[in-house]
Amino acid sequence: MPFIVLQNRTSGQQRTYELKKRITSIGSASDCDISIEDKRIPRHFANIFFDGHSYTIQVASSNLEFLYDGKPARRKKLQEDTNVEIENFTLRFFMERRRQETTSQDTRKDIYQILFETSTRLMSDFSLDTFLSNLIDAIISLTRADKGFIIIFKENTFDIMVARNLEGKNIDNPRDLISDSIIEKVINSKKPIIVNDALNDTQFKMSVSVINLKLCSVLCVPLIYQGNILGLIYIGNDNVANLFDQNSLEILTIFASQITLLLKSALHISRLEQEVDIRNYNSIIYTSPIMTEIMEKIRKVAPTDVTVLLEGETGTGKEILAREIHNYSPRKGNPFVAVNCAAIPKDLLESELFGHIKGAFTGAISNREGKFQLASGGTLFLDEIGDMPLNLQVKILRAIQEKIVMKVGSNKSEEVDVRIICATNQNLDELVKTKKFRSDLYYRINVVRFYLPPLRDRSEDILLIAKYFLNKFKKEYNSNIEGFSINAIKAINNYRWPGNIREMENRIKKAVILSKHPLIEKEDLELPDEGETPILPLAQAREEFQKRYILEALRKNGGNRTKTAKDLGVDPRTIFRYLENIEDENV
């Protein structure tokens, strides 16, 4: 008799239904012939009709559809071993002659199907507990084991991360159900072990743990990452009728080799989420050592009133870091005012900063407060200060030194109480040398200086920041996007992000809005192929070349900075600045 196999593509669990009736109903209702427990599926979704010769599946309503071999459809004649996908479930149709067949090719197809679904689950749900539970359920279903364990090594011991039985329930006291002897053998050899009829096995029959547990059949496979054991997959059967064989060993070994990287990613993301410091909308998202060091210094500087200079490429988050300094200072209850000196026309910048009185110039129809006055009691952030005109730099210097400003058109001084934070993506040392930036102002604002590294130098933070933006825009646009695909994750990690965090934010925002798939693909992010070098702005490309060239010159001079500066014809301070910027402690 023909039959349908219903498979949950995430857990791998299957149920079989014989097609005994001329009309077989499918839906989430409990009285359907094929009942699928999923709230997303209508109570009556479709019917399978038998006309005496063939079977046809048809949706119950014209606004519904399924995927037939990957293509949307509402009515299709069922063919041998075809796939009908409904939400997270697959229906496969078989004739009687195929019911008892299980070929190695079918098994391999199941392995890679479950691998694909497990991978998709990881990318869409970064919850470690959920991922591990689905993973072990899939392994138990695939190998027909009675119970399964995923074991992770931590320092000199191991931790059983998940223990489940055939019914998909957690096992109490799992440590009491595994053999230390078998685990020790796998750890020492880094090779999988299959034990059939353990009590009579010549190698393990004298083991205390095997005797006490009365083990029947065990499979234990190492999870090896970069030559080291990350953990183990340990499964067991208590029934002599279900002994594991070499095919079971091959299945689990294939599965383990493919799943190790995903498990490593899940563990890494879980650790980052525990360590990451995310407090509010404006906070810096980080876990990398370089940002951790910067943030530790920020929290020491923030409570003081010293002027801070932030350097770094465009899009690295200098304004957000300035807000962080403000939020950790005693001024946090007062205004934080930001001014982009490059975005305001030069003839209007003085009025923008200091304000003006009525009639000071054409269009000045009333008195107006400037940013210094508006920020009084709080923090004034002067972004792109390297673009400030020289004639205005004198007045900025006086405002910082004497805490006095004067509106345009007025001869009356006003006291202001502001903390100054400046930022630039330019080399102020070079601007001072070329007389494009006043040295007295430079030394006044350069009391404490921080260099924000580009995103490409914060590899530990890249995926974490991407996930933050994904969740942010999912909520903002009420999107059904579930996560990133595996290819998207690889592309995100491999891309150099010349536009830094701002570029990532914009690419992910666009992908969330326009993607047609539940998982964002590499193509949605419009990232170049791996190995393809993106075109950089000329200034940034020049900066990158200078860094590499200086490091190479230092290497040839054995790390002698003075000689390197002489050979390159630059001031030794330039060498020091580059070394500070790239945090190169090994030169």
DSSP 360-408: SSTT--S-EE-HHHHTTTSEEEEETGGGS-HHHHHHHHHHHHH-EEE-B
Q: Which residues of 220-239 are buried (b: 16+ CB within 10 A; e: fewer)?
A: bbbbeeeeebbbbbbbbbee
- Report how far residue 468's alpha carbon sits from residue 285's, in angstroms, rounded to the nearest whole number: 8
Fold of 289-452: Rossmann fold (3.40.50)
- State the average pLDDT for the chain: 82
Size of the chain, expressed as the number of residues it contains? 587
Domain 538-581 -> CATH class: mainly alpha
Least confident of 57-71, 204-218, 560-574: 204-218
CB 472 within 8 A of CB 465: no
pLDDT of res. 473: 93
> pLDDT band at 455, cuts 50/70/90?
very high
Q: CATH second-level architecture of 455-525?
A: Orthogonal Bundle (1.10)
pLDDT above 70 covers a percentage of the chain that reads 82
* pLDDT: which is higher, 510 or 137: 510
* pLDDT exceeds 50 at position 341: yes
> pLDDT band at 139, cuts 50/70/90?
confident
* pLDDT exceeds 60 at position 118: no
Residue 137 buriedness (CB in 10 A; 0-12 / 13-18 / 19+)? buried
pLDDT of res. 124: 53
Residues 6+ apart with CB under 8 A from 325: 298, 301, 302, 308, 379, 421
The encoded tokens of residue 544 equal 């990158």
pLDDT in tens, 158-207: 788 888 887 778 888 888 788 888 888 888 888 888 887 555 556 665 55
Tell me which CATH code domain 3-98 carries. Answer: 2.60.200.20
CB 524 within 8 A of CB 466: no
pLDDT of res. 200: 59
* pLDDT: which is higher, 226 or 527: 527
Region at 549 (left for phi over 0; alpha for psi -120 to 50; beta for the rest): alpha
Sequence spans of domains, the chain: 3-98, 107-273, 289-452, 455-525, 538-581
pLDDT above 90 covers a percentage of the chain that reads 35
pLDDT of res. 97: 40
> pLDDT band at 114, cuts 50/70/90?
low
* pLDDT exceeds 50 at position 496: yes
- Report how far residue 582's alpha carbon sits from residue 536's, in angstroms, rounded to the nearest whole number: 18
pLDDT in tens, 423-443: 999 999 999 999 999 999 999
> pLDDT band at 277, cuts 50/70/90?
very low
Region 361-368: mean pLDDT is 86
Q: Which of 10-24, 107-121, 461-475, 563-577 has the highest mean pLDDT?
A: 461-475
pLDDT of res. 279: 37
* pLDDT exceeds 90 at position 387: yes
* pLDDT exceeds 70 at position 336: yes
- Report how far residue 49's alpha carbon sits from residue 587's, in angstroms, rounded to the nearest whole number: 75
Q: Is the dihedral of CA 150, 222, 467, 421 positive or negative?
A: positive
* pLDDT exceeds 50 at position 280: no
pLDDT of res. 101: 41
pLDDT of res. 141: 76
* pLDDT exceeds 50 at position 278: no
Least confident of 137-146, 217-226, 254-263, 397-406: 254-263
* pLDDT exceeds 60 at position 102: no
> pLDDT band at 305, cuts 50/70/90?
very high
* pLDDT exceeds 90 at position 311: yes
pLDDT of res. 398: 93
Domain 107-273 -> CATH class: alpha beta
Least confident of 218-222, 280-284, 399-403: 280-284
* pLDDT exceeds 50 at position 281: no
pTM over 0.85: no
* pLDDT: which is higher, 368 or 539: 368
CB 76 within 8 A of CB 89: no
Which own/partner pairs from 69-78 qualify as long-range (CB within 8 Å, at least 24 positions apart)?
Answer: 78/48, 78/54
Region 373-400: mean pLDDT is 94
Region 405-428: mean pLDDT is 93
CB 307 within 8 A of CB 400: yes
